[in-house]
Amino acid sequence: MIILEFALITFLIVCAIAFTFSKRLLTSVIIFMAYSLIMSIIWLIMESPDLAITEAAVGAGVTSVLLFLALKKVNALKGKKDE
């Protein structure tokens, strides 16, 4: 179990660093989704399933969709204008 926790936290840190260093905004949003998913599993391990459900639904689902829509509004999904 401890190995799983360390692996998850390592993934979390890798996601957080990759999130800031990715050039494309679309990639950033997808990494953000992965971050939220890992975070929800960590909440589950830390015995707070309420937060896990909310994190998975809001963090990985709704927020990402809203960010995708915002990127579409500013024409950043095609991969040309974003940086």
Partner 1 sequence: MSNSNYNKDKIPSTHSKAPWNAFVGWVNGDTPEDKFEKPELYQAPKQSHDAHNEESAVQQTPMPQAENEQEYNTDHTEQGHFLLKEKFTKFYKVYIVIAVIIGCFVVGILAYAVCCLPPYGYAENPVNNEVSEKYLEDGLEDTGATNAVAGMILDYRAFDTFGESTVLFVAVIAVTMLMKRSMNKKDEEGERLVAHETEIDKKDQNLILKYGAMILVPFIILFGVYVILNGHISPGGGFSGGAIIGGGLMLYAMAFGHEKISKIITYRSFTVITSCALLTYAGCKAYSFYTGANHLGGDIPKGIAGAILSGGFILPLNICVGITVAFTMYGFYSLFSKGDI
Binding site for partner 1 (CB under 8 A): 49-50, 53-54, 57-58, 61-62, 65-66, 69-70, 72-73
Sequence-ordered list of residues with C-beta below 8 angstroms from that of 68, at least 6 positions apart, any chain: 26, 29, 77
Q: Closest separation between CB of residue 64 and partner 1, Å?
A: 10
Q: Which is nearer to partner 1, 7 or 58 (CB)?
A: 58
Q: How far is the CB of 57 from partner 1 (least distance, A)?
A: 4
Please identify, using beta-carbon distances, which residue of 7 and 69 lies nearer to partner 1: 69
- Alpha carbons 16 and 76: distance in angstroms, whole number: 21
Distance CA 83, CA 77 (A): 11
Amino acid at 79: G
Q: What is the maximal distance between C-alpha atoms in the chain?
A: 44
Cβ 47 to partner 1 shortest distance, Å: 9
